[in-house]
């Protein structure tokens, strides 16, 4: 039934007045959008284990909503996606597409493309020319085999098919490379540079295809001169943008950055520029998205202005509007139009032609450029990635009557298949380095120096990780304390700072990834001039320069499940002795109206990162539970400004904590107190005979884990005594900034919490206690809120009444790397394997 679009009302009067909301434009759009978002997110969740980009889920979701699946039910299709609603849906979707292509232009840096070198250009040229030629060849087969395909003009059809087969989806490729941690490998760098060339060439070819398509379909009697005029006007538009608009946008960016938070008018002006540029290219006869893309190229990439634009646009556009474009594409895709063996054979032909053209062309040139065959093959598969740009080309072709329903469906399935196979194929061909199983930093309990003959044997190398700038003050205060003091001068310290940024589908994370440094990991290069610096790097640089501490700041951008691989790789590559990570909860000293401390939780995902780092780190690890350790006065060089308490029970982790305390005691602004706990004697001697039985059935997420290693307990006691004696001797040299005391306790938890609640100490340092003494072993049965911190660390971190910050130290030792949940057994234990503990000394 035909519907007059002018008679459609925006909103209804409600069901109580007899109106059906689905018969009105805005309520129906809400329902359509909700359905698209729910289906897209559900499919993305299901495909996540396969490491597929989100674009796959959105394309599949659009197809499922269309006539290929759910749309076979005509009642559903007419109620939720009636024909009169499609112009409204597509208009909203194209607004999102317009701004998304502006983001794509914003991500592309023309200067970096020009600096990419001849090899990337040659690979890109081969990756375009051969698939384009193959597309032209297969188009002759499709025109003769697909009914109705020959109705479009030869020129537009050949060009559209060539462009469709030769495109590489730059944004999708960037996310795949980042997900596989290949972005800054030679293969990844070459792929990104070649894809950038390819992206620019694809837009030029698309502009040509659109111009040529103006002479087909309803305009079949137009003169070819019209296409020439369209191309000339398009070239003039690009020239005006680069010559006049680009300097103007540089001025706008400088003004916006100088005004800081008052830059709303310049951001609004930029948004208006996107719309105006889109209007002009549509006015010329080229699609409006071309104007938005070119305008994005004119915005300067350095500085903060581009980042602000991305923050304002990306979530709303990529999360809400862009999925509507995939839905509208899926509603045009009817897989049922591919009927019979002949049609499916054509689909196989198109897929094979697309893959062969792209992979073979890239492979041959890459090998000619002296690239290893395996790398060249992986590069060819990566360059075969399709995505949103492919759908844009196909949709424009369908709008211009160049592609009919069957050809359109064939090409959409080709794009879906080629992108789907990219990740598993590359993982099979080019397996990136994963977790570092070997651990090089084997240190004695009395030394914190890395075994490097190439560096100062007394130099301490520390890697400090930060989630956000809010972690910087406490980390800086801790680093300054560890550095030691000026007696006679501070110990040499090399500080590496790693800003941990979660890799998401957001454009901003990909922009940060693309600013990678050549060290095999997605790091931001802090040394590049005119590069925007993040606040974490600025804070640590401000600390390092006046204090003569060598600071090297980096940014790791990775998905949370694999973030620990980057952290551990840096720790091993930089040969650090101590790795500091912030706890996933941060408690502020200021309290609310109810007297409770304000707690900020950065999320369970970051807690999992810490747990994996503790398991796989190649060096000692310290987890900082911050309760305002960086607040107030900075650590001074002459007077005591921080009180630190070390709780010593015994074992490798506690000895590492004492070693750390020994360094802190050298700082004149730090007063360190080591408290050694001794079990209170009682008539019940069975208390000292505690055994821990491995209990694999228990969950490591809810139970404390202890080392399964068998150690010489007597030797361990000797090491404990030696570590304590070494610290006691240091108390005589430190002019009152180091003290030692022994405390006899009956209830360990109450004694520990009393110290944390007293407010006498700014920081409490404890060992994780993986090889526990009897006092710690008796705590194995306690309910664990944060088992990764060990029994003592968890008790201090979980209590809301503790006011001191907590540092939980785990010494690196291969012997203690295997841990398991345990069951506590009193008395002599039972038959089987037990983790023996001895309370004779403590």
Model confidence pLDDT, tens digit, residues 799-816? 888 889 999 999 887 555
- Over range 143-154, report the average pLDDT: 83
- Between 4 and 727, residue with greater pLDDT: 727
In this model, does residue 605 exceed pLDDT 90?
no
Residue 645 to residue 181: CA distance in whole angstroms: 41
Q: Which residue has the tokens 């069975």?
A: 686
pLDDT of 10? 87
Q: Judge residue 464's burial from the number of C-beta atoms within 10 Å of its C-beta, 0-12 exposed, 13-18 middle, 19 or more buried.
A: buried
Model confidence pLDDT, tens digit, residues 672-717? 999 998 876 655 444 555 666 676 666 667 778 777 677 777 888 8
pLDDT of 283? 92
Model confidence pLDDT, tens digit, residues 85-102? 999 999 999 999 999 889
Tokens of 126: 């081969």
For β-strands 819-826 and 690-694, DSSP reports them as antiparallel
pLDDT of 17? 87
- Over range 283-290, report the average pLDDT: 88
Q: What is the pLDDT confidence band of residue 243, given thresholds at 50, 70 and 90?
A: very high
Going by C-beta distance under 8 Å and a sequence separation of 6 or more, which residues neighbour residue 376? 362, 363, 366, 367
**Backbone phi and psi for residue 703, each to the nearest 5 degrees, phi listed first:** -135, 150
**Nearest of 185, 181, 183, 188 to residue 568 by alpha carbon:** 181
Residue 303 to residue 252: CA distance in whole angstroms: 12
In this model, does residue 539 exceed pLDDT 70?
yes
pLDDT of 99? 93
- Over range 325-344, report the average pLDDT: 88
- Between 26 and 595, residue with greater pLDDT: 26
In this model, does residue 511 exceed pLDDT 60?
no
In this model, does residue 239 exceed pLDDT 90?
yes
pLDDT of 106? 85
- Over range 54-59, report the average pLDDT: 88
CB crowding 247-268: b at 16 or more within 10 Å, else e: eebbebbeebbeeeeebeebbe
Q: Residue 810: enclosing H or E segment and its boundaries? A: strand 805-810
Residue 354 to residue 207: CA distance in whole angstroms: 21
pLDDT of 785? 87
Model confidence pLDDT, tens digit, residues 34-54? 999 999 999 998 998 888 888
- Over range 741-756, report the average pLDDT: 88
Tokens of 178: 């980042």
Cα-based distances in Å from 809 to 48, 173, 549, 646, 652: 35, 40, 23, 11, 10
- Between 613 and 534, residue with greater pLDDT: 613
Cβ pair 842, 769 in contact under 8 A: no
Model confidence pLDDT, tens digit, residues 165-180? 988 887 788 778 877 8
According to the 3-state scheme, what is the secondary structure of 509-552? Answer: HHHHHHCECCCCCCCECCCCCCCCCCHHHHHHHHHHHHHCCEEE
Residue 84 to residue 31: CA distance in whole angstroms: 15
Q: Which residues pair with 430 in a beta bridge?
A: none
pLDDT of 485? 63
pLDDT of 816? 55
Going by C-beta distance under 8 Å and a sequence separation of 6 or more, which residues neighbour residue 422? 176, 381, 382, 384, 385
Q: Which residues pair with 672 in a beta bridge?
A: 644, 738
Model confidence pLDDT, tens digit, residues 397-449? 888 888 888 999 999 999 999 999 998 998 888 765 444 433 333 343 333 33
In this model, does residue 109 exceed pLDDT 70?
yes
Give me the chain's average pLDDT, please.
80
- Between 831 and 307, residue with greater pLDDT: 307
Model confidence pLDDT, tens digit, residues 459-479? 788 999 998 888 888 999 898
CB atoms inside a 10 Å sphere around CB 288: 22
Going by C-beta distance under 8 Å and a sequence separation of 6 or more, which residues neighbour residue 586? 470, 471, 599, 600, 602, 626
**Backbone phi and psi for residue 581, each to the nearest 5 degrees, phi listed first:** -125, 140
pLDDT of 662? 85
User: Model pTM?
Assistant: 0.74
Cα-based distances in Å from 290 to 76, 138, 159, 197, 667: 35, 27, 17, 16, 61
In this model, does residue 755 exceed pLDDT 80?
yes
Cβ pair 589, 803 in contact under 8 A: yes
Q: Residue 797: enclosing H or E segment and its boundaries? A: helix 790-798
Q: Judge residue 10's burial from the number of C-beta atoms within 10 Å of its C-beta, 0-12 exposed, 13-18 middle, 19 or more buried.
A: exposed
pLDDT of 489? 55
């Amino acid at each position: 039934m035909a519907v007059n679009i002018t008679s459609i009302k925006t909103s209804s009067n409600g069901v109580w007045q007899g109106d059906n909301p689905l018969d009105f434009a805005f309520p129906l759009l809400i329902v359509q959008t909700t359905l698209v978002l729910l289906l897209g997110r559900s499919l993305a969740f299901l495909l996540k284990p396969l490491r597929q980009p989100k674009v796959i889920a959105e394309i599949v979701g659009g197809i499922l909503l269309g006539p290929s699946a759910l749309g076979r039910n005509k009642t559903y299709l007419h109620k939720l996606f009636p024909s009169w609603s499609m112009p409204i849906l597509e208009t909203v979707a194209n607004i999102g597409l317009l701004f998304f292509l502006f983001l794509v232009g914003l991500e592309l840096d023309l200067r970096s493309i020009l600096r990419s070198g001849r090899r990337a250009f040659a690979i890109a040229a081969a990756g375009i020319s051969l698939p384009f030629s193959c597309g032209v060849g297969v188009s002759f087969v499709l025109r003769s085999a697909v009914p109705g395909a020959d109705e479009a003009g030869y020129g537009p059809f050949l060009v559209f098919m060539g462009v469709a087969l030769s495109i590489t989806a730059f944004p999708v490729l960037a996310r795949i490379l980042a997900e596989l941690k290949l972005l800054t490998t030679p293969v990844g760098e070459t792929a990104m540079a070649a894809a950038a060339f390819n992206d620019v060439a694809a837009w030029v070819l698309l502009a040509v295809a659109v111009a040529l398509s103006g002479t087909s379909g309803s305009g079949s009697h137009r003169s070819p001169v019209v296409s020439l005029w369209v191309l000339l006007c398009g070239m003039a538009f690009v020239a005006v943008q680069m010559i006049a608009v680009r300097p103007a946008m540089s001025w706008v960016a400088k003004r916006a950055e100088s005004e800081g938070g008052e830059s709303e008018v310049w951001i609004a002006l930029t948004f208006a520029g996107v719309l105006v540029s889109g209007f002009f290219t549509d006015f010329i006869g080229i699609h409006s998205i071309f104007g938005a893309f070119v305008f994005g190229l004119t915005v300067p990439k350095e500085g903060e202005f581009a980042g602000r634009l991305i923050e304002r646009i990306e979530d709303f556009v990529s999360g809400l509007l862009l999925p509507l474009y995939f839905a509208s594409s899926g509603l045009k895709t009817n897989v049922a139009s591919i009927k019979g063996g002949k049609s499916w054979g054509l689909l196989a032909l198109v897929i094979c032609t697309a893959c062969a053209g792209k992979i073979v062309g890239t492979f041959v040139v890459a090998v000619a450029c002296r690239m290893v065959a395996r790398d060249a093959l992986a590069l060819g598969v990566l360059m075969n990635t399709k995505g949103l740009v492919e759908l844009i080309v196909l949709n424009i072709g369908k709008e211009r009557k160049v592609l009919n329903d069957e050809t359109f469906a064939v090409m959409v399935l080709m794009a879906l298949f080629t992108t789907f196979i990219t990740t598993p194929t590359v993982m099979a061909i080019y397996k990136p380095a994963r977790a570092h199983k070997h651990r090089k930093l084997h240190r004695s309990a009395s030394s914190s120096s890395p075994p490097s003959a190439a560096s100062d044997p007394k130099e301490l190398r520390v890697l400090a990780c930060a989630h956000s700038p809010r972690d910087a003050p406490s980390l800086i205060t801790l680093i300054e304390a560890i550095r030691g003091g000026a007696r006679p001068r501070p110990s040499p310290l090399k500080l590496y700072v790693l800003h941990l940024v979660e890799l998401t589908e957001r454009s901003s994370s990909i922009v940060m990834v693309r600013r990678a440094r050549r060290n095999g990991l997605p790091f931001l290069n802090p040394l590049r001039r005119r590069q925007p610096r993040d606040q974490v790097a600025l804070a640590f640089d401000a600390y390092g320069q006046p204090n003569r501490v060598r600071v090297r700041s980096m940014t790791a951008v990775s998905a949370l499940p694999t973030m620990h691989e980057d952290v551990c790789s840096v720790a091993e590559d930089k040969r650090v002795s101590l790795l500091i990570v912030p706890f996933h909860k941060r408690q502020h000293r200021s309290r609310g109206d109810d007297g409770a401390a304000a707690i900020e939780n950065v999320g369970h995902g970051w807690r999992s990162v810490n747990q994996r780092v503790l398991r796989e780190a190649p060096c000692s690890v310290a987890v900082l539970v911050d309760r305002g350790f960086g607040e107030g006065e900075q650590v001074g060089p002459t007077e005591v400004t921080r009180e630190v308490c070390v709780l010593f029970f015994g074992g490798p982790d506690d000895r590492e904590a004492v070693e750390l305390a020994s360094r802190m005691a050298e700082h004149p602004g730090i007063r360190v107190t080591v408290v050694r706990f001794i079990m209170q004697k009682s008539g019940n001697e069975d208390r000292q005979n505690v055994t821990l039985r491995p209990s694999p059935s228990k969950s490591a997420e809810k139970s404390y884990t202890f080392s399964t290693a068998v150690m010489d307990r007597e030797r361990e006691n000797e090491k404990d005594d030696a570590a304590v004696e070494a610290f006691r001797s240091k108390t005589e040299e430190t002019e009152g900034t180091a003290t030692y005391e022994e405390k006899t306790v009956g209830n360990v938890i109450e004694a520990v919490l009393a110290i944390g609640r007293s407010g006498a100490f700014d920081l409490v340092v404890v060992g994780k206690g993986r090889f526990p003494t009897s006092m710690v072993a008796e705590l194995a049965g306690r309910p664990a809120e944060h088992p990764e911190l060990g029994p003592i660390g968890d008790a201090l971190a979980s209590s809301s009444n503790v006011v001191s910050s907590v540092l939980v130290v785990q010494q690196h030792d291969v012997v203690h790397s295997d841990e398991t949940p345990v069951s506590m057994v009193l008395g002599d234990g039972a038959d089987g394997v037990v983790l023996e503990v001895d309370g004779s000394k403590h």
